[in-house]
Amino acid sequence: MTIDWSQFTPWSSLAGGILIGISVSVLLLWNGRIAGISGVVGGILSRNRNELAERIAFIAGLIIAPGLVWMILERPTVQIDSGIPAIILAGLLVGLGSRLGSGCTSGHGVCGLARLSVRSLVATLTFMAAGFITVYVLRHLLGV
Amino acid sequence: MRILIALCSGLIFGFGLILSGMSNPVKVLGFLDLAGQWDPSLAFVMVGAIATAIVPFQWVMRRQRTLLATTPQLPTSTQIDKRLLIGSLIFGTGWGVAGFCPGPALVAAGAGMPLAILFVVAMLAGMGLFNLIDKRFMNA
């Protein structure tokens, strides 16, 4: 392992993390809901239509955030290296897996760990390990 | 009021993802690539988010009351079962393929990136697939 110092952004990443912590805290403090993205989106898709307006408002916030940043500051950096088949496969896996496992990086990784939930800790370690292994296999064994 | 709170929370979440670099898949893959040129930045995102949220979360959990005087809806399951493990494995694999998890994908789609929009469509299809499987096999 070598650390890529040229890409290392500890302060902006920490500050961004703090904003995410504030966001999930605001939703819990006032609305009493867990800000798990896969759960919020999944709830819109399923027949369980309670709090539909709230769910849509939360997702709308996520979607308009980059436009506001672009208008006020600069265009957000989004670099996508994957081809179309990889994107489709990845999207299907992320959608299916996050619903089956009842959460993703936000629901288990942030909110679950802030709740000190062992179940979320196990989920987080599992999906992080799967992510590390997948990148290892794709980049270093298959050379994709 | 609740809708406005949800909108603000989503906005702040989106700003956080952009500022932290999480909304950039190349950076996420740089974090997941332990054996290559490793970029540890995203560990700082997790630390910052959890350290900030832990006190408000523990407070609401103890009080069982929100600031709007309603009862919070917290996950009750503590079970570590096959669903949790298999689901997390599938999710992590997909995360490693493209570097997108649900939140950053929505932000990148909002930035107008066509591949991110495609990812979101595929992700919604994956969630739809879950609803089908769930209805058919699990709650039968």
Q: And the tokens for B102? A: 């649900």
Q: Do B52 and A37 touch (CB under 8 A)?
A: no
Rounded distance between C-alpha atoms, residue A114 and residue A24, angstroms: 10
Determine the pLDDT at residue A48.
64
> Which region, left, alpha or beta, applies to residue B69 given φ > 0 means left and ψ of -120 to 50 means alpha?
left
CB pair distance less than 8 Å for B48 and A104: no
Residue A96 pLDDT: 96
User: Across the interface, which of B29, B79, B129 has its CB nearest the CB of A119?
Assistant: B79
- To test the contact with chain A by mutation, choose from B123, B133, B137 the residue with the greatest count of A C-beta atoms within 10 A, namely B123
Element (H, E) at A3: strand A2-3
- What would the pLDDT profile of A27-47 be if each residue is shown by its tens digit? 999 999 999 999 999 988 876
* A127·B103 Cβ contact <8 A: no
Which residues from chain B sit within 8 angstroms of residue A74, using beta carbons? none
The answer to which of A15-19, A133-137, B37-41, B136-140 has the lowest mean pLDDT is B136-140
Query: What one-character-per-residue DSSP string does chain B give?
Result: -HHHHHHHHHHHHHHHHHHHTTT-HHHHHHHH-TTSEE-THHHHHHHHHHHHHHHHHHHHHHHT--TTS------------HHHHHHHHHHHHHHHHHS--HHHHHHHHHTT-HHHHHHHHHHHHHHHHHHHHIIIII--
Spell out which residues of chain A touch residue B100, defining contact as CB-CB under 8 Å. Answer: 90-91, 94
What's the whole-number mean pLDDT along residues A82-92? 96
Residues 6+ apart with CB under 8 A from A125: none
pLDDT exceeding 90 applies to what percent of chain B? 87
The total number of residues shown for chain A amounts to 144
The pLDDT confidence band at residue B140, using thresholds 50, 70 and 90, is very low
Total domains in the fold of chain B: 1
Place of tokens 């408002």: A57
Nearest to A94 among B10, B23, B101 (CB): B101
The rounded percent of chain B whose pLDDT value lies above 70 is 97
The dihedral region occupied by B21, where left means phi > 0, alpha psi between -120 and 50, and beta the remainder, is left
Residues of A in contact with B1 (CB under 8 A): 30
Residues in chain B: 140
What's A51's DSSP letter?
T
Structure tokens at B104: 């950053």
The sign of the torsion formed by the CA atoms of B129, B108, A82, B33 equals negative
Q: Residue A46: its pLDDT value, please?
A: 78
Q: What integer best gives the mean pLDDT of chain B? A: 94
N-to-C CA span, chain B: 38
Q: In the predicted model, is pLDDT for residue A87 greater than 50? A: yes
Average pLDDT of chain A is: 93
Chain A's closest residue to B59, CA to CA, is A29
pLDDT at B139 over 60: no
Please report, as a single letter, which amino acid is at residue A20.
Answer: I
> Tell me: the pLDDT tens digits for B24-79?
999 999 999 999 999 999 999 999 999 999 999 999 999 999 999 999 999 988 89
Q: How far apart are the CA of B137 and the nearest CA of chain A, in angstroms?
A: 12
The two three-digit tokens of residue B5, written as one number: 């709170």
Tell me which residue range forms the domain holding B64: 2-138
Closest partner residue to A66 (CB to CB) among B9, B77, B107 is B107
The structure tokens listed for A106 are 């936000």
- Are A123 and B17 a contacting pair at CB < 8 A? no
Residues A42-72: tens digit of each pLDDT: 988 876 667 899 999 999 999 999 999 999 9
State ipTM.
0.94
pLDDT, position A143: 81
More confident residue, A48 or B136: B136
Instruction: Kindly list the distances between the CA atom of residue A38 and the CA atoms of A67, A91, A110, B110, in Å, as whole numbers in the listed order.
Output: 22, 12, 13, 17
Instruction: Find the CB nearest A106 among B27, B36, B103.
Output: B103
